[in-house]
């Protein structure tokens, strides 16, 4: 297991992208839309991990709801695992509250699943696995 990325909820990808682009001295971040999650992302590599700016593409997006309730800021921390379904099964058996019991499509050609913040001291945890 390793840290994959840190998700940051933003209202405007363009505005946040300029600030983070300056911070990381990177003009062309990775851009991607994840239809299933109703989000658009900009990603900046930082060492072995990624900073993932995430904006809603629809009012019912989980990111739109997060920003409405809590404002912009850190949304989740993601850990990459080798076998996502096995990790979900292990955590469920240990009594951890899962948001997703089966993997879903995510950005960066990964499968993803979220663990409820109530199980990890208020922090939304994402588990992800590279496809293939």
**pLDDT tops 80 at residue 27:** no
State yes or no: pLDDT of 56 exceeds 90. Answer: yes
Name residue, tokens 């879903």: 104
Distances, alpha carbon 33 to alpha carbons 58, 71, 90, in Å? 12, 21, 30
Global pTM value: 0.91
- The pLDDT, as a whole number, for residue 28 is 82
Q: Structurally, what CATH architecture does the domain formed by 2-130 represent?
A: Roll (3.10)
Give the other-Cβ count within 10 Å of 125's Cβ.
Answer: 19
What is the average pLDDT across 85-114? 96
pLDDT for the residue numbered 25 = 86
Which pLDDT does position 49 carry in this prediction? 94
């Amino acid at each position: 297991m390793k840290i994959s990325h840190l998700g940051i909820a933003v209202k405007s990808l363009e505005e946040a992208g300029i600030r983070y682009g300056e911070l990381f001295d990177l003009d062309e971040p990775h851009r991607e839309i994840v239809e299933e999650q109703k989000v658009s992302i900009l990603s900046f590599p930082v060492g072995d991990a990624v900073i993932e700016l995430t904006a809603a593409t629809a009012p019912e997006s989980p990111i739109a709801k997060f920003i409405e309730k809590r404002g912009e800021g850190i949304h989740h921390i993601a850990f990459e695992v080798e076998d996502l379904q096995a990790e979900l099964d292990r955590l469920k058996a240990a009594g951890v509250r899962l948001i997703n019991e089966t993997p879903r499509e995510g950005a960066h050609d990964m499968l993803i699943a979220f663990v409820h913040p109530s199980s990890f001291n208020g922090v939304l945890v994402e588990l992800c696995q590279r496809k293939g």
